[in-house]
Structure 1
Amino acid sequence: MATAVQKITLSSSRDIPFNKLVLSQSNVRRVKAGVSIDDLAASIARRGLIQSLHVRPVLDAEGQETGMFEVPAGGRRYRALELLVKQKRLTKAAPVPCVVGDANSDVTIDEVSLVENMDRAPLHPLDQFRAFHAMREKGMTEEAIAAALFVTPQIVKQRLRLVSVSPALLDIYAEDRMTLEQLMAFTVSDDHARQEQVWEAISHSWSKEPHQIRRMLTETTVRASDKRALFVGVDAYEAAGGCIVRDLFQDDDGGWLQDSVLLDRLVSEKLKTVADQIAEEGWKWIEVALSFPYGHVHGLRRLTGTTVDLTDEERATREALREEYDRLEAEYSEADELPDEIDQRLGEIEQALDAFETRPVNYDPADFGIAGAFVSVDADGALSIDRGYVRAEDERPVDAEGGETQDDVIDPETGEIQSPAIQRAVITIGGKPTESEDDADDSIKPLPERLVIELTAHRTLALRNALAENPHVAMTMLLHKLLSDTFIHTNPTGCLEANVRHTFFSAQSEELKDSPSAKAVNDRHERWGDHVPADDQALWDWLTDLDDGTRMELLALCVSYGVNALFER
């Protein structure tokens, strides 16, 4: 015989005047959490009491009902109603919907309060998104939705951003096969097909971190913090029709620029405009690139110009900035953290002071026709212009004494060196130069080649012996050769066959030139380059007068360029 299933009886509900309700001391909620009482009161004032209170009759010592009711479940709602009464927005005797429990029930009042809070399930973020989306579809703005639900507009924007995620991925998230952090990572792209492709690629992988999802979705885009974007400017990129995608869920450094082809075109156009302006200064060549590899100026001679002094007005401005900087630092020296506006101002002052340190340089107008400049973009997106480099093939010819020939003529319009107006004709027969009949009898006949080799062999041995017996001269000769190779490049090579093979890095990241070591090497090279004489004889005299410590420092500098610890297959 089947056992009859015992039927349950639900508690009755009725309206009870608010002044007949008291908060139960058995309510388990002690710690404040969730929506504040003020916000809950505002919500009740706007929408009414959506959820009834659970109450039980208060009994006297004899077990008789007193007409009062205690509230074991719904304490926050009770306090919100109490606040509305204090604000005169609700009467003391206003009826409150209540579910009345049995005062003699076997279920304790503590259990009712505990279970009422434990059985409550928070709203799923996807359901919240769909509700926000439905409200916006009905004409509500993001700000209106935020105001109605007492949340920040940023929360509404974040939830509504989920509309860019593929419905297939939303279903996967609803089935708890994807975390909320992973789902939010997909919002950096609007391409549903690409989103699904990325999830398919990583869903069976051990690594499904949100940063990996963002990286895969943005691998064909350019970060707004990229030096190309900083150089062109995000506003200029957007004005040209470019699109930017931003991540509302975490710091994205300004987002991602979607059209890399457009960005590269804007960079090229801006660099070309700058190059045209620099070419008007009269340089022979301008070389333009987004960035140049480390050591790209090897083999070039850098012109020594004259730095333009600060004007009286510029000096006054610089001193005023320094005083303001020192005053702000002293004023906020005890502060744990600088206010945003002060921190921003200090940064602006530092940039302005740095600008005073980078002074323009004046060059000899006669050198413009043989030299050029490099135009590129620094790692921080700033324009970089390096002027005054002379290629070996553009160097002016030198005479026997090492000075420039006096027959060079500079075109006043182009600045280029022209050939002398009158040149002595050179007649060749069979590819060899011939002498004129008038000078044939008076010219010095060359020695036979065999005799020249024997004589110079004796001279070489004599020089070797003399050099080995005089270390000071040997050091001078070695330094002369190494410094000529390192700084001058065009000096006569002389008879000493000694060199340090300068090692360069053919394919390295553009950040290499900004490393501390690279900057130290370049600074040291430029510092010594300002002192090394460009004339061959002057270099001999300068080296002869140097003390031994300085000579050893120069030797270390030249030898350092031959260090090669690079690993390459």
Structure 2
Amino acid sequence: MNEQSRIVADAARFPLAQLVLSTINPRQHVDEAEVAELAESIWTAGLIQNLAGIETEAGEIEIVAGGRRLRALQFLAARHDDLAATRPELANPPVRIAPDAHTAQAWALAENAARRDLHPADEIRAYGKMAQSGATMPIIARAFAVSEKHVQRRLALAGLPQAVIAALAANEISLGMAAAFTISMDAARSLEVLELCRSRDWSEHQIRKALKPEAVKLSDRRACFVGLEAYQADGGRVSRDLFAEDILLDDPDILDTVFAAALAELAEDHRGEGWKWVEMSFESYVGYYQIEEGKFARLYKQEGALSADQAARFDELAALDEAETLDAATRDELTALQAIREGSYSAAQEAHSGLILYVDPRGAVQICAGLVRKEDKPAAIAAGLLIASQHEREEPPKSPISQKLREDLDRVAQGARQHAVLRDPELLLDLLAFQLSHALHWQKPFGISPGEVPNWPITGAEGYALDPRLAEHPARDMQGRDLAKSFRAFRQKGSEHIRGELTRFLAAQYQGGDAKLAALIEKVTQPRTREIWTPNAANFFSRVSGPYLSQIWRELLDIAEDAPSALAFDRLKKSEKAAQLESLFSDVAMREALGVTEEQASRISNWLPEGMS
């Protein structure tokens, strides 16, 4: 709408009998049913938008904008003989009068070409008022020319505390923020969160978390495993986030209890199958590193053999499966043949090993079987199930991390240990005294030969924020200097300076000692690599393979390998994957956009490449 078409005249009220439809009004033909529905809306909610017209020489007001509303008002006048007495505001509606024909023409065009929608708060109140008067959702939808889904969502908002709707009307919160309040049935808590939201500029996600801080989605792996009915049967409460299309489970403690009970029941079923032991893991994955940490040896199924007929049938079904033309029966047949090919554990293997049950991120039960405990290895070797010459362990898979990158990561980890031990000068001095008074040979805790204990990556140092005392102030070159004079000047700087220099030097020389001593020091100092190093595209993600980046993405966000979002990430270029992962680690807005949960955020904040600590 341009400057010439702005409404400049004040509205005045005119009797309906004085109003006629202008020939320049775009709405010359309107369906009678549509007029009746709009009349019902106006009767319930009032005339929300004024009419606009121009006065003729004969004294009539020709309506140039608002033809549907004029017809609806005339419809009401025909149905209610006492309209002037009962609803005088409808019998004498307000009309803005154009000052000239040019302006009237502009208004007529602007009514449809640049019509401004109702403010969401006004729309919510109007829909709510109609619903309270008995209007059904389809009637409201037709009256306002919107979808029933749109009406459903507005009516959900109509049930919010009036303070929330008022904040929306005042543009203190957005429509999305108002929608976030619909998950709460606690009006008092909603008002508390509204005040917090106003003062802290919260996002929709933060509002939802404040209203239901403990709630988890139905898509949570625990819920997928036990099912909604089992959770509710144990007293678990459910609420629905209409706008996020989510079902929320409000009692995570009950979910944990039901989850643990269901997993324990499943484990009990497996204990009767001949295994030496059966355990549960509440983690979402059990793999190579967990097996190494538990010092398990691994037994594998004895490979089965298909007969000639079975092999031919397997190939036939596999081809059909590739073409996605298998029905349920033939798929079961293919699964049975596949099981024969994969083989099974023998009774002897089961007698010397066990299994760990866990639930993966999709809520599916997974079994890690054929695990031999450390104390059971001698018996398994004696039974011929394990070979001692292989050091009682399986060959580790090839690491996805290159040797050059491994050296950098080791340096980062060493820097983290030095960074931590720097906080305890007394410990450093005690360690120094211990080393100097004992012949520790190559297991000395300090690299005082003197020598360099590397703590700075050769490449990829971006994202590395080591304490400046370890990264700066190199040792002074004393070549050709008067050492006695320099030493006297050094002593005159005072004990605090000398102590600081000694502390810095000892921390930079710290390298651990033997495994037990290093473990003791780390227990005291609690080094945390992520305190000084954050993985980004330059220092890590661009230096590993694309498939490994996809694996990291799925594991951090609990995404199944065949999920659409995982497949979309797989299709990205390696540089795009690296950039996405860098944003996931550093960009709070991206995490909110992805709906990252607290558990996932914690996993991201603590994540380290394999082999780091």
TM-score by length of 1: 0.51
Name the CA shift for 1:250/1:146 in 2 (closer, same or farther; >3 Å).
Answer: same
Note if contact 2:39-2:72 (Cα within 8 Å) is conserved in structure 1.
no
Structure 2: how far apart are the matches of 1:53 and 1:289? 69
**Which residue in the other structure is 1:386 paired with?**
368
Give the aligned residue type for 1:223.
K
Give the aligned residue type for 1:198.
V
Compare 302-311 and 386-395 and name the one that shifted more.
Answer: 302-311
Note if contact 2:38-2:144 (Cα within 8 Å) is conserved in structure 1.
no
Match of 2:266 among 270, 274, 281: 274
Name the CA shift for 1:202/1:126 in 2 (closer, same or farther; >3 Å).
Answer: closer
Instruction: Give 1:228 deviation, angstroms.
Output: 0.8
Larger Rg: 1
Instruction: Give 1:296 deviation, angstroms.
Output: 1.9
Match of 1:74 among 66, 75, 78: 66
**Which residue in the other structure is 2:155 paired with?**
160
Name the CA shift for 1:271/1:397 in 2 (closer, same or farther; >3 Å).
Answer: closer
2:284 aligned with 1:304, yes or no? Answer: no
**Which residue in the other structure is 1:238 paired with?**
232
Give the aligned residue type for 1:302.
R
Structure 2: how far apart are the matches of 1:300 and 1:9? 85
Name the CA shift for 1:520/1:354 in 2 (closer, same or farther; >3 Å).
Answer: farther
**Which residue in the other structure is 2:190 paired with?**
195
Deviation string, structure 1 residues 352-400 (Cα, Å, up to 9, x no partner): 98897666642221232221111111121100112211112113459xx
Residue aligned with 1:296, SS: helix
Structure 2: how far apart are the matches of 1:101 and 1:255? 47
Note if contact 1:373-1:386 (Cα within 8 Å) is conserved in structure 2.
yes
Match of 2:222 among 204, 219, 228: 228
Deviation string, structure 1 residues 275-309 (Cα, Å, up to 9, x no partner): 11111111111111222565121232222322456
2:320 aligned with 1:326, yes or no? Answer: no
Give the aligned residue type for 1:389.
L
**Which residue in the other structure is 2:437 paired with?**
none
2:354 aligned with 1:362, yes or no? Answer: no
Name the CA shift for 1:351/1:227 in 2 (closer, same or farther; >3 Å).
Answer: farther
**Which residue in the other structure is 1:169 paired with?**
164
2:391 aligned with 1:484, yes or no? Answer: yes
Note if contact 1:22-1:68 (Cα within 8 Å) is conserved in structure 2.
no
Structure 2: how far apart are the matches of 1:146 and 1:397? 75
Deviation string, structure 1 residues 15-63 (Cα, Å, up to 9, x no partner): 3898xx6512xx5x69x9xx9968743535767998797666878xxxx
Match of 2:175 among 160, 174, 180: 180
Instruction: Give 1:72 deviation, angstroms.
Output: 2.7
**Which residue in the other structure is 2:23 paired with?**
23
Structure 2: how far apart are the matches of 1:516 and 1:211? 31
2:280 aligned with 1:283, yes or no? Answer: no
Structure 2: how far apart are the matches of 1:351 and 1:391? 34
Name the CA shift for 1:238/1:133 in 2 (closer, same or farther; >3 Å).
Answer: farther
Name the CA shift for 1:191/1:349 in 2 (closer, same or farther; >3 Å).
Answer: farther
Note if contact 2:353-2:372 (Cα within 8 Å) is conserved in structure 1.
yes
Note if contact 2:52-2:63 (Cα within 8 Å) is conserved in structure 1.
yes
Instruction: Give 1:154 deviation, angstroms.
Output: 2.2
Name the CA shift for 1:151/1:368 in 2 (closer, same or farther; >3 Å).
Answer: same
**Which residue in the other structure is 2:35 paired with?**
41
Structure 2: how far apart are the matches of 1:99 and 1:268? 66
Compare 156-165 and 263-272 and name the one that shifted more.
Answer: 156-165
**Which residue in the other structure is 1:542 paired with?**
none
Instruction: Give 1:214 deviation, angstroms.
Output: 2.2
Give the aligned residue type for 2:394.
F
Instruction: Give 1:517 deviation, angstroms.
Output: 4.5
Matches within 5 A, 1:155-554: 155-162=150-157, 165-205=160-200, 207-251=201-245, 254-291=246-283, 294=287, 295-298=289-292, 299-308=295-304, 319=316, 322-323=319-320, 326=323, 361-397=343-379, 404=383, 483-484=390-391, 486-487=393-394, 517=548
Instruction: Give 1:520 deviation, angstroms.
Output: 9.7
Name the CA shift for 1:275/1:350 in 2 (closer, same or farther; >3 Å).
Answer: same
Note if contact 2:55-2:61 (Cα within 8 Å) is conserved in structure 1.
yes
Structure 1: how far apart are the matches of 2:98 and 2:252? 71
Structure 2: how far apart are the matches of 1:23 and 1:230? 62
Name the CA shift for 1:520/1:307 in 2 (closer, same or farther; >3 Å).
Answer: farther
Residue aligned with 2:241, SS: coil
Note if contact 1:371-1:390 (Cα within 8 Å) is conserved in structure 2.
yes
Structure 1: how far apart are the matches of 2:122 and 2:354? 65
Deviation string, structure 1 residues 314-359 (Cα, Å, up to 9, x no partner): 986984585376378xxxxxxxxxxxxxxxx999999998897666
Note if contact 1:72-1:113 (Cα within 8 Å) is conserved in structure 2.
yes
Instruction: Give 1:265 deviation, angstroms.
Output: 1.5
Instruction: Give 1:217 deviation, angstroms.
Output: 3.0
Instruction: Give 1:163 deviation, angstroms.
Output: 5.1
Match of 1:109 among 101, 116, 121: 101
**Which residue in the other structure is 2:427 paired with?**
none
Q: CA RMSD in A?
A: 5.7
Structure 2: how far apart are the matches of 1:367 and 1:174? 70
Note if contact 1:303-1:388 (Cα within 8 Å) is conserved in structure 2.
yes
Structure 2: how far apart are the matches of 1:144 and 1:564? 58
Q: Which structure shows the higher strand fraction?
A: 1
Instruction: Give 1:236 deviation, angstroms.
Output: 3.2
Name the CA shift for 1:10/1:137 in 2 (closer, same or farther; >3 Å).
Answer: closer
Structure 2: how far apart are the matches of 1:127 and 1:133? 10
Unmatched 5+ stretches in structure 2: 1-9, 76-90, 397-514, 516-522, 530-545, 553-607
Note if contact 2:54-2:99 (Cα within 8 Å) is conserved in structure 1.
no
Instruction: Give 1:111 deviation, angstroms.
Output: 2.1
Structure 1: how far apart are the matches of 2:232 and 2:181? 23
Name the CA shift for 1:172/1:76 in 2 (closer, same or farther; >3 Å).
Answer: closer
Structure 2: how far apart are the matches of 1:163 and 1:81? 26
Count of residue pairs the alignment pairs up:
377
Name the CA shift for 1:149/1:318 in 2 (closer, same or farther; >3 Å).
Answer: farther
Instruction: Give 1:227 deviation, angstroms.
Output: 0.9
Residue aligned with 1:107, SS: coil
Structure 2: how far apart are the matches of 1:75 and 1:10? 17
Instruction: Give 1:77 deviation, angstroms.
Output: 5.5
Structure 1: how far apart are the matches of 2:144 and 2:253? 43
TM-score by length of 2: 0.48
Note if contact 2:51-2:63 (Cα within 8 Å) is conserved in structure 1.
yes
**Which residue in the other structure is 1:87 paired with?**
none
Note if contact 1:305-1:363 (Cα within 8 Å) is conserved in structure 2.
yes
Structure 2: how far apart are the matches of 1:41 and 1:293? 65
**Which residue in the other structure is 2:556 paired with?**
none
Structure 2: how far apart are the matches of 1:393 and 1:177? 65
